[in-house]
Structure 1
Amino acid sequence: MRMPSFISKRLQSAKSDISRSAYIPAGQRLYVVGDIHGRADLLAAMQAQIDNDVIARPCAEPIEVYLGDLIDRGPDSASVLGELIKRQTTHRIIVLSGNHERMLLEALDDDRMLALWLKHGGCETLSSYGLHGTEVRLADMAAGDVRTLITTTIPCNHFSFLEALPYSYVSGDYFFAHAGIRPKVPLHAQNPNDLIWIREPFLSSSSNHGLIVVHGHTPVVEPEFLPNRINIDTGAYLTGRLTCLVLEANKLSMLGAA
């Protein structure tokens, strides 16, 4: 896919804004994928682009990093999780937890979180597992019955996969998290809640965080490159644009699925 001109221009700017001393370890190439939100079609297209890129430009250690919010809102969360579970058996992938994954897991024990999850995409997720028309029925069901429906519908291995997701990943001079970090708190001491939920004061911070933070969570019209962070959430479930940042040595490039 040809890179849109506005992304090309932002990449040129990024190369001057982000120090050339920011490196990925030798031999690695990272493919960092933004928020998927149930768009299994875009995920499949992106993975095909990644595979084709690795064939065209072989490297010793290609690593895929998924920034969380795999589920909810879009039409096929079940297939997204199924594909990632399958892909981890054939590719090296790092899948991080987003706030939507945590909402689902916490909904199993917390009535407030259950209501929040259903309101913000949980009904679409349940529909992707075959429970069509769920939103209407859930309004008349007790919380305990809804939880029973969730746990008997979503496969156990999908829950196990979600429960094992880490909150962050580090490679070279880059720190990866779903939402961002709490400025002025050491990266090793970050609160998991901040890593999956934070917006401010992170988004407006100009602080040097020690590493460049690559994140999603806050949708932007185009990928956002700043000296201390990179945001690649291009709102896939609404825009049809799933973005992938490619990092290798001190170079940045992009893949896009639409």
Structure 2
Amino acid sequence: MSLFRWRKRPVETPTPLPPAEIPAGQRVYAIGDVHGRFDLLQRLIGKIEADNEARGAADTHVVMLGDLIDRGLQSREIVDFFLKQPPAFAQLHFVMGNHEEMLLKLIDDPDLDAMLHYLRYGGRELFESYGAPRAVLDAPDHFTPDTLPSYVPAAHRDFLSTMHDGVQFGDYFFTHAGIRPGVPLAQQERQDLRWIRAPFLESRADHGVVVVHGHSVSDAAELLPNRIGIDTGAYMTGVLTAIGLEGRDQWLLQTRGGD
């Protein structure tokens, strides 16, 4: 299964659905796939904090939609940030992405073939951030399969393993990849929540909630009646996107490389 595919989809006119709403008194921000770009994340959180303050008092939440790690060069810095100096203006929620899932599987069950696959899809950059030597990165088959995973500290492993499958606020459900159309939320499979693409992306059905997700890169945020996609490919485009939600209002915040 491909881990990455750039999708520029035509905008269709979907069937009108009831407007989604965040419960009164709450304000929710969601941040798309960071993929090792701590520089962009820091600036975006600063923008969110300023935006939140300007809008007045609320019960504020920030949802990280998964794939904090891999591809970019600052995976360790991101996890350190959330462990040591997390933002205090909001309650944080962490959703697990497919990249966190892949790393945790390698830690729990080291396997050379899986490691070689992971290294090709962003794992090399992660292990570089944890200080793994080039000799191991260049020739992982010369070492035992648990060599590279051993560079990830236990505290970081514990942090990643406690991430959620999804979080719901009012009429919005936040998960990494999406949901299987036609399946109730309580019966969704983790495989779909972390990996699904076409069946979800192409659906215009009423899911009963608006699904806010990352995972599938688009050239701009996609705000549709049944889903909101905010993965704008931060690690290669330099654009990290967040959405703010309050009542029936929706607004975007972005950090661009060079801001």
The 1:217/1:110 distance shift into structure 2, 3 A limit, reads same
Residue 7 of structure 1 corresponds to which residue in structure 2? none
Q: CA RMSD in A?
A: 2.0
1:202 aligned counterpart, secondary structure = helix
Q: Which amino acid in structure 2 is aligned with residue 117 of structure 1?
A: Y
1:132 to partner: Cα distance: 4.7
Q: Which runs of structure 2 are paired with 1:230-241 in the superposition (5 Å)?
A: 230-241=228-239
1:52 to partner: Cα distance: 1.2
The answer to whether residue 119 in structure 2 is matched with residue 128 in structure 1 is no
**Structure 2 residues not aligned, in runs of 5+:** 1-10
Q: Which amino acid in structure 2 is aligned with residue 113 of structure 1?
A: A
Residue 140 of structure 1 corresponds to which residue in structure 2? 142
1:77 to partner: Cα distance: 0.3
Note if contact 1:182-1:194 (Cα within 8 Å) is conserved in structure 2. Answer: yes
Note if contact 1:225-1:231 (Cα within 8 Å) is conserved in structure 2. Answer: yes
Tell me the TM-score normalized by structure 2. Answer: 0.87
2:198 aligned counterpart, secondary structure = coil
Note if contact 2:127-2:148 (Cα within 8 Å) is conserved in structure 1. Answer: no
Q: Which amino acid in structure 1 is aligned with residue 43 of structure 2?
A: A
The answer to whether residue 213 in structure 2 is matched with residue 215 in structure 1 is yes
The answer to whether residue 104 in structure 2 is matched with residue 102 in structure 1 is no
Distance 1:132 1:192 in 2: 33
Q: Which runs of structure 2 are paired with 1:1-258 in the superposition (5 Å)?
A: 19-20=18-19, 22-88=20-86, 90=88, 91-108=90-107, 109-111=109-111, 112-133=113-134, 134-143=136-145, 147-151=146-150, 153-258=151-256
Distance 1:34 1:120 in 2: 18
1:253 aligned counterpart, secondary structure = strand
The 1:67/1:121 distance shift into structure 2, 3 A limit, reads same
**Percent of pairs with identical residues:** 43
Q: Which amino acid in structure 2 is aligned with residue 235 of structure 1?
A: G
CA distances 1:83-129 after superposition (whole Å, capped 9, x unpaired): 12235473410010000000000012052433322221111001011
Distance 1:87 1:68 in 2: 19
Q: Which amino acid in structure 2 is aligned with residue 220 of structure 1?
A: S
Q: Which amino acid in structure 2 is aligned with residue 72 of structure 1?
A: D
1:51 to partner: Cα distance: 1.4
- Number of matched residues? 241
Residue 4 of structure 1 corresponds to which residue in structure 2? none
Q: Flag the structure with higher helix content.
A: 1
**Structure 1 residues not aligned, in runs of 5+:** 1-9
CA distances 1:114-158 after superposition (whole Å, capped 9, x unpaired): 332222111100101122525313243232xxx13422x211111
Note if contact 2:239-2:254 (Cα within 8 Å) is conserved in structure 1. Answer: yes
Distance 2:122 2:193 in 1: 20
CA distances 1:165-206 after superposition (whole Å, capped 9, x unpaired): 011010000011100001111011100111000012111111
Distance 1:173 1:204 in 2: 20
1:179 aligned counterpart, secondary structure = coil
Residue 3 of structure 1 corresponds to which residue in structure 2? none
1:79 aligned counterpart, secondary structure = helix
1:56 to partner: Cα distance: 1.9
1:31 to partner: Cα distance: 1.0
